[in-house]
């Protein structure tokens, strides 16, 4: 990306956000990502974490291949947590947790044209992330998740609702245990989208599952 997408485009990218690494896939991740793109994801995050996650060259090369697939289909490519990889690949952005460096410092290293997402679990963390220069917030876990061992307490849509009540108007995506059957309250609470791992990467028919979420989230999105 030459310039950073404006806030409206960031909201649109968040509508159906796939987060994934090789450990989340039962088929080659390249195949899963290609099918998910065909089904209609709007943003992709490379998150190579958990038991059996690739490291070193294999990690870097998988990132490169997945980024290439995203480029071909004009889907922005975000790297989870790893600023070195984001810089090396010239990724479109990075997503960081509460334990990572503040967005401000990351932006200085990564470039001012990059998207920076920050995980926040309450209004205090959200305010801090905005002050530090986040472009969007990931709020979770909304529901119980099997995909993140160290997830915090399930919070439903309470933080998303609180952000709206405080008129905190940064783009927001919900994450954690989200599937087609429980996605609606997240949009109703005011989120711009849903971020999912297992609802897409864990499905037998990835394209069909993504298409279903695509149709649903188009209907539910607020703008």
Q: What are the angstrom distances between the C-alpha of 151 and each of 68, 79, 176?
A: 30, 19, 9
| In the block, residue with structure tokens 């905190």 | 168
Residues 6+ apart with CB under 8 A from 56: none
DSSP state at residue 26: S
Alpha-helical (H) ranges within the chain are 7-13, 29-39, 56-72, 83-89, 103-110, 123-131, 158-165, 184-189, 198-201, 206-220
Applying CB under 6 A, which of residues 20, 134, 199, 209 lies at the interface with ligand 3NM? 199
Length of the chain measured in residues: 223
Q: Are strands 77-80 and 193-196 parallel, antiparallel or unpaired?
A: unpaired
Q: Assess 93 for contact with ligand 3NM (CB under 6 A).
A: no
Selected binder of ligand 3NM within 22, 67, 145, 217 (CB under 6 A)? 145
| Position 147 contacts ligand 3NM (CB under 6 A) | yes
| 25 binds ligand 3NM per the rule CB under 6 A | no
Which residues are tagged catalytic?
Answer: 47, 119, 148
Q: Any known ligand binding at 48?
A: yes
Query: Burial code of 35-46, b = ≥16 C-beta within 10 A, e = fewer?
Result: bbbebbbbbbbb
- Can you read off the two tokens belonging to residue 167? 């008129």
The distance between the two most distant Cα atoms of the chain, rounded to a whole number of Å, is 46
CB nearer ligand 3NM, residue 141 or residue 190: 141
Minimum distance from residue 204 beta carbon to ligand 3NM (Å): 15
| Sequence-ordered strand ranges (E) for 21-92 | 43-46, 77-80
Q: Give the binding range for ligand 3NM (CB under 6 A) out of 106-114, 129-137, 161-169, 172-180.
A: 172-180
The reply to whether 22 sits in an annotated binding site is no
Q: Please report whether residue 198 would count as binding ligand 3NM according to CB under 6 A.
A: yes
* Residue 175 interacting with ligand 3NM (CB under 6 A): yes
From candidates 151, 180, 220, 221, binder to ligand 3NM by CB under 6 A: 151
164 marked as binding residue: no
According to the binding rule CB under 6 A, does residue 177 interact with ligand 3NM? Answer: yes
Site membership for ligand 3NM, residue 170 (CB under 6 A): no
Residue 140 engages ligand 3NM in binding (rule: CB under 6 A): yes
In the complex, residue closest to ligand 3NM by CB: 140
Strand 16-20 with 77-80, pairing: unpaired
Taking a C-beta distance cutoff of 8 angstroms, is the pair 16, 193 a contact?
yes
Considering the complex, state which of residue 164 and residue 179 has its C-beta at the smaller distance from ligand 3NM: 179
Residues that bind ligand 3NM (CB under 6 A): 19, 119, 138, 140-141, 145, 147-148, 151, 175-178, 196-199
């Amino acid at each position: 990306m030459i310039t950073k997408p404006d806030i409206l485009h960031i909201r649109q990218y968040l509508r159906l956000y796939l987060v994934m690494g090789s450990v989340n896939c039962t088929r080659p991740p390249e195949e899963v990502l290609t099918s998910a793109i065909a089904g209609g994801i709007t943003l992709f995050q490379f998150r190579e974490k958990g038991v059996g996650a690739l490291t070193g060259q294999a990690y870097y090369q998988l990132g490169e291949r997945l980024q290439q697939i995203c480029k071909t289909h004009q889907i922005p490519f975000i790297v989870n947590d790893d600023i070195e990889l984001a810089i090396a690949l010239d990724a479109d952005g990075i997503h960081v947790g509460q334990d990572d460096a503040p967005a401000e410092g990351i932006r200085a290293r990564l470039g001012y044209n990059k998207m920076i997402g920050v995980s926040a679990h309450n209004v205090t963390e959200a305010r801090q992330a905005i002050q530090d220069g986040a472009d969007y917030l990931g709020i979770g876990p909304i529901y119980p998740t099997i995909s993140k061992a160290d997830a915090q307490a399930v919070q439903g849509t309470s933080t998303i609702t609180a952000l709206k009540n405080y008129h905190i108007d940064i783009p927001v995506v919900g994450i954690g245990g989200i599937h087609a059957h429980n996605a609606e309250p997240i949009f109703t609470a005011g989120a711009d989208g849903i971020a999912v791992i297992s609802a897409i990467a864990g499905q037998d028919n990835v394209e069909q599952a993504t298409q279903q979420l695509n149709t649903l989230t188009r209907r539910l999105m607020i703008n």
